[in-house]
Amino acid sequence: EGAGVLELFLAERGSHLMRTAVLLAGGRPDGEDLMQAALERLLRQGNRIQGDPEGYLRRTLYNLAADRWRRQETWRRKLPVLGGGQRTAEPDLTAVVDLRDALIRALHLLPPQQRAAVVLRHWEQLSEAEAAVVLGCSEGTVKAAASRGLRRMRELAAGWLENDVELTENRT
């Protein structure tokens, strides 16, 4: 019976939760690993979870992602430095794909708390109070982290746009 309930839940909410996991993890494979780990924890809890499993699963996703970020302090060094020198071939991308890529890259460069606050507030569209419950902090902390995260993403995006303009001018 428990497996059937989980299957129904995942059929209804699984895609949305997977997208959240991918955003938190920074890529599809890592997002799938994150989601799998969260589901394993959900299954281990069995009948001890009261109410909707989505809240437990969401909180587990954010906690696992934060744990991962803390363990991998070198993750920033492993990310490619964004800029003109990295493009080896002319990609055939649309403006929408470019924008999404830039947003995901900017999200990757944020510290864990800012990243989680931005995802919760602007992807999940949770209120500050709801995000504070998920993250286990105050509403003020969520508000400040989301604000700082968005400001940093804007700064990064401005730098990329300048680099793109320089690349375009150099090609002509």
> End-to-end distance of the chain based on CA atoms, in angstroms?
65
**154 C-beta neighbours (distance < 10 Å), count:** 11
The answer to whether the CB of 121 falls within 8 A of the CB of 89 is: no
> What pLDDT is attached to residue 148?
95
**27 alpha-carbon distance from chain centroid:** 9
| Both tokens assigned to 23 | 């955003």
Mean pLDDT calculated for residue range 95-108: 77
Beta strands in the chain (DSSP E): none
Q: What is the residue-averaged pLDDT of the chain? A: 78
The answer to whether the CB of 26 falls within 8 A of the CB of 108 is: yes
Instruction: Give the model confidence (pLDDT) of 131-158 as tens digits.
Output: 999 888 999 999 999 999 999 988 887 7
Of 164 and 95, the structure prediction assigns the larger pLDDT to: 95
> What pLDDT is attached to residue 162?
62
Asked if residue 20 has pLDDT above 80, the reply is yes
Report the distance separating Cα 170 and Cα 142, nearest Å: 42
* Burial class of residue 37 in the structure, from the number of CB atoms within 10 Å of its CB (0-12 exposed, 13-18 middle, 19+ buried): middle
Confidence of residue 164 (pLDDT cuts 50, 70, 90): low
Confidence of residue 95 (pLDDT cuts 50, 70, 90): low
> What pLDDT is attached to residue 93?
46
Closest CA to 81 of 154, 28, 156: 156
Mean pLDDT calculated for residue range 113-129: 90
Of 118 and 87, the structure prediction assigns the larger pLDDT to: 118
